[in-house]
Amino acid sequence: MSGTSLDGIDAVLADFEAFRPVLLDSFYLPYPGKLREQLKELHFPGHDELHRAAMLGNQLARHYAEAVAGLLRKSGVAPYEVAAIGCHGQTVRHCPEAEAGYTIQLCNSPLLVELTGIRVVSDFRSRDIAAGGQGAPLVPAFHQALFADPHVHRVIVNIGGISNLTDLPRSGNVTGFDCGPGNAMMDEWCARHTGQAYDEDGRWAATGNPIPLLLEKLLGLPFFSLSPPKSVSRELFSITWLDGYLKGEESPADVQATLLELTVTGIARCILDYCGDAAEIYVCGGGARNSHLIGSLQAALPGRKVALTDSVGVDADWLEAFAFAWLARQVIHGMPGNISSVTGAKGERLLGAIHPA
């Protein structure tokens, strides 16, 4: 998995033979800085996009192959023992609206097969969009398989570059949708003003104070008032979008505090508005390691338990990669991977294209 934060590749080794899926091992490969910048540029129209996208797809396949090799070395597993690689690819455009109806995740999957000798499953989102869905979020089906409890109403919140949630009621339909920004804008603002890739533990944001008027303006974006199903990508929640609301006289730390509050408010409002009496909130993704953010989320949701997915058996850093391994397994076994009440698709669909070894 390489998500909207554009920080690198999360690779996991998963075993689905037992009743409960098991995460056996994990490996992280950071993106080179130049690759990260090239991928960011492709989120917006520019010169010679087709060629640049194809070349980046090739480059990504080589990085994915390197991540697979690192994971297998670490775990002592041979390539022939692996059933498949579930490769999400790198999202550079996500336009599920009916008049557009497409999503682009870059990866040269045939090249990845050649480099690893392992079957590859990729392009997980397109079929759901073709069936009238948002193509996102896709992880709720896996969250349901892992975390649903008939006695407790739970919500799983993933805070990556974008934040999204899965609502797991005690009974009835599972739902899920994007909430708004996650880490992406905070990371970019931090890099611009401190030179650091991210605000570790939210310490810099904690030195500032949210700017009420700026927060109000940012929350005025129509996306926040849309009813689910809904999804979004970093083209909307970008540093360029933020710059349009700034006067230039704001304290950088105060803006960082405002961005953290924007992420927290987007998540909390979604839970309060759409997740009813949810008692337990479990957080995963890079934002789960930001203790200032988690503390602010707990303050915004009094009376509800807020904890990391670590406390229910899955490391918060690896849950999303684990989910795409599961989605690859689903399509290989001819089983659907989406939940139509989440994405808005016309029904359950097999998600992903299989590239044989």
Closest Cα partner for 3 from 263, 339, 320? 320
Compute CA distances 148 → 28, 61, 111, whole Å. 28, 34, 37
User: What sign does the dihedral 14-162-178-208 (CA atoms) show?
Assistant: positive
Statement to judge: residues 18 and 119 lie in one domain:
yes
Residue-wise pLDDT tens digits, 234-264: 778 989 999 999 999 999 999 999 999 999 9
Statement to judge: residues 282 and 201 lie in one domain:
yes
Closest Cα partner for 186 from 166, 159, 212, 164? 159
Residue-wise pLDDT tens digits, 124-146: 999 999 999 999 999 999 999 99
**Across residues 93-110, what is the average pLDDT?**
90
Statement to judge: residues 151 and 255 lie in one domain:
yes
Statement to judge: residues 68 and 178 lie in one domain:
no
Helix (H) or strand (E) holding 30: strand 22-30
pLDDT band (50, 70, 90) for residue 167: very high
pLDDT band (50, 70, 90) for residue 98: low
> Rounded CA gap, 262 and 234, in Å?
15
Domain around 31: 8-135+317-355
pLDDT(233) > 80: no
Tell me the CATH number at 156: 3.30.420.40
User: What sign does the dihedral 208-209-212-213 (CA atoms) show?
Assistant: negative
Instruction: Mark out the alpha helices in 42-132 (DSSP H runs).
Output: 49-75, 109-116, 126-130
Statement to judge: residues 300 and 338 lie in one domain:
no
Statement to judge: residues 263 and 323 lie in one domain:
no
315 three-class SS? coil
**Residue recorded with tokens 């999303």:** 320
Does the pTM surpass 0.85? The reply is yes
Per the domain annotation, does 284 fall within a domain?
yes
Statement to judge: residues 299 and 276 lie in one domain:
yes
Domain count, the chain: 2
Which residues, 6 or more positions from 93, have their beta carbon under 8 angstroms from its beta carbon? 42, 43, 102, 103, 104, 233, 235
Statement to judge: residues 33 and 130 lie in one domain:
yes
Residue-wise pLDDT tens digits, 289-312: 999 999 999 999 999 999 999 999
pLDDT band (50, 70, 90) for residue 315: very high
Round the average pLDDT of the chain to a whole number and report it.
95
